[in-house]
């Protein structure tokens, strides 16, 4: 085996490293440009201009207007603002919301909360490949359905849902359409108008910006109530002094993505395919989820008979995961994989490899060596 004395990072769906160009753009706003953008003096107006530029950069990435972007602390907050806001604003029309059983916990737990407030939530199942059945969605829509919330790209499997078709069905039934685009934004081109998206959530730390910054896209004609009161910031939705360094960083990350996402996709897809093909040569392995409708940087592989947690613990120089980052400390099978029909043992035997901008060919070969070597030392349990 190669002498590997550094960490090979294949957990970019959990969080990405901060791009050095993003950091360089952000640092002045932690140092000399520290003024509050709400201040009317010169220093404040200078910072406010930087916030406006960043808002435009985020909007440009998803084909939105500047005034449709609300800065948040990340996707979880954006999801909460959107789901709870629509529920409150449209309660007179109905209290029925449709989502999917494989959504991120930020959506599922918020929907569980809404159920305690008298809302009815339909949790659509997924097929074996992780995709929803459009006919089942159509059959679940009702006159009192106010929102359909379905994630763009699954964080565990990389499965891409047919967003445009889903949005069309929602709109035909008179409902709004929301998508958690955390794993799609900055990786694939998207235009909210063309796709029919009414609300969209994104997070900076998935696209090489720091943690603690994200955004919510809200279509102009949609009115949501204030989520946080006190000052009227962010169009009255989210009051509080803006996280200027994070906002500037998010804007820079979005601008880089606009320029480079195509070349990133082509290069990373080659690496992912090489890694996947080699690992599938190991007996009793298979890919979880669709291989046709899938994000280019992800492969979720079941190593049947092995304990993924044991593998992760022994591979000191390789960072991978066995579920979403927000629930990885809980010892339970992935709700995404079990919803797709995997038994608990196969779910516990699955690893997610999520590659990113800074991964290179050398790391693919070394990772394969590490995994194969560790498997020789672990007793198969099936």
Q: Are residues 234 and 363 in the same domain?
A: no
Q: What is the DSSP secondary-structure string of 22-90?
A: HHHHHGGGTTT----TT--SHHHHHHHHHHHHHHHHHHHHHT--GGGEEEESSHHHHHHHHHHHHHHHT
Q: Are residues 289 and 250 in the same domain?
A: no
For a pLDDT cut of 90, what percent of the chain falls above it?
A: 87
CATH number at residue 292: 3.90.1150.10
For a pLDDT cut of 70, what percent of the chain falls above it?
A: 95
- Contact at 8 Å (CB) between 14 and 204? no
Q: Encode pLDDT of 310-344 as tens digits.
A: 999 999 899 999 875 555 555 789 999 999 999 99
Q: Are residues 159 and 304 in the same domain?
A: no
Q: Are residues 234 and 353 in the same domain?
A: no
Model confidence band, residue 300 (pLDDT cutoffs 50, 70, 90): very high
Region 348-361: what's the mean pLDDT? 97
Q: Are residues 45 and 140 in the same domain?
A: yes
What is the token pair recorded at 218? 């809200």
Any domain includes 112: yes
Any domain includes 381: no
Q: Supply the residues annotated as catalytic.
A: 326
What's the number of domains the chain is made of? 2
Q: Encode pLDDT of 363-375 as tens digits.
A: 999 999 999 998 8
Q: Are residues 77 and 184 in the same domain?
A: yes
Region 131-148: what's the mean pLDDT? 98
Lowest pLDDT segment from 37-51, 74-88, 206-220, 310-324: 310-324
Write down the pLDDT at residue 329: 58
| Of the residues 229, 256, 283, the one at which a domain ends | 256
Q: Are residues 243 and 268 in the same domain?
A: no
Q: Are residues 164 and 135 in the same domain?
A: yes
| Of the residues 208, 234, 256, the one at which a domain ends | 256
Q: Encode pLDDT of 212-262 as tens digits.
A: 999 999 999 999 999 999 888 888 899 899 999 999 999 999 999 999 999
Q: What is the mean pLDDT of the chain?
A: 94
CATH number at residue 233: 3.40.640.10
Is it the case that residue 76 has pLDDT exceeding 70? yes
Q: Encode pLDDT of 174-205 as tens digits.
A: 999 999 999 999 999 999 999 999 999 999 99
Q: Are residues 24 and 163 in the same domain?
A: yes
Q: Are residues 252 and 204 in the same domain?
A: yes
Nearest to 57 by CA among 10, 102, 25: 25
Write down the pLDDT at residue 1: 44
Any domain includes 382: no
Any domain includes 3: no
**Structural domain span for residue 364:** 8-18+260-376
Q: Are residues 64 and 204 in the same domain?
A: yes
Any domain includes 2: no
| Of the residues 216, 234, 256, the one at which a domain ends | 256
Q: Residue 126, Cα to own-chain centre: how many angstroms?
A: 18
Any domain includes 1: no
Is it the case that residue 378 has pLDDT exceeding 70? no
Tokens 């035909």, located at residue: 172
User: Which residues, 6+ apart, have CB-to-CB distance to 157 below 8 Å?
Assistant: 130, 288, 289, 290, 294, 298, 300, 336, 337, 340, 352
Write down the pLDDT at residue 60: 98
Model confidence band, residue 9 (pLDDT cutoffs 50, 70, 90): very high
Is it the case that residue 3 has pLDDT exceeding 70? no
DSSP class of residue 204? Answer: G
């Amino acid at each position: 085996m190669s002498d590997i004395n550094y960490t090979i990072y294949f957990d970019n769906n959990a969080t990405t490293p901060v791009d050095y160009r993003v950091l360089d753009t952000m640092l002045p706003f932690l140092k000399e440009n520290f003024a509050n953008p709400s201040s009317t003096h010169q220093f404040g107006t200078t910072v406010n201009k930087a916030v406006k530029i960043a808002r435009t950069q985020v909007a440009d990435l998803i084909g939105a207007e500047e005034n449709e972007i609300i800065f948040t602390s990340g996707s979880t907050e954006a999801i909460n603002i959107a789901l709870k806001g629509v529920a409150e604003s449209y309660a007179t029309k109905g209290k029925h919301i449709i989502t999917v059983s494989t959504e991120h916990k930020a959506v599922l737990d918020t929907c569980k909360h809404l159920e305690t407030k008298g809302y009815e939530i339909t949790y659509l199942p997924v097929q074996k490949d992780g995709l929803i059945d459009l006919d089942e969605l159509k059959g679940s829509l009702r006159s009192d359905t106010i929102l359909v919330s379905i994630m763009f790209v699954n964080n565990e499997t990389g499965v891409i849902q047919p967003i445009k078709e889903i949005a069309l069905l929602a709109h035909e039934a008179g409902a709004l359409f929301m998508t958690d685009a955390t794993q799609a934004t900055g990786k694939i081109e998207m235009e909210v108008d063309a796709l029919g998206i009414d609300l969209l959530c994104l997070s900076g730390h998935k696209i090489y910006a720091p943690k603690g910054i994200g955004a919510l896209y809200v279509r102009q004609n949609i009115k949501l109530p204030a989520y946080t009161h006190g000052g009227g910031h962010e169009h009255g939705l989210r009051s509080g002094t803006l996280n200027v360094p994070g906002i500037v960083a998010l804007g820079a990350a979005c601008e880089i993505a606009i320029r480079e996402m195509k070349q990133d996709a082509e290069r990373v897809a080659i690496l992912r395919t090489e890694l996947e093909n080699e690992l599938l040569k190991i007996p009793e392995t298979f890919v979880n989820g669709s291989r046709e409708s899938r994000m280019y940087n992800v492969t979720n592989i079941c190593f049947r008979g092995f304990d993924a947690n044991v593998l992760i613990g022994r591979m000191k120089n390789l960072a991978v995961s066995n579920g979403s980052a927000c629930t990885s400390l809980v010892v339970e099978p992935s709700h995404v994989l079990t919803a797709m029909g995997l038994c608990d043992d196969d779910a516990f035997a699955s690893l997610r490899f999520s590659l990113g901008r800074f991964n290179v060919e050398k790391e693919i070969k070394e990772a394969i060596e590490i995994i194969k070597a560790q498997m020789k030392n672990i007793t198969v349990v099936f």
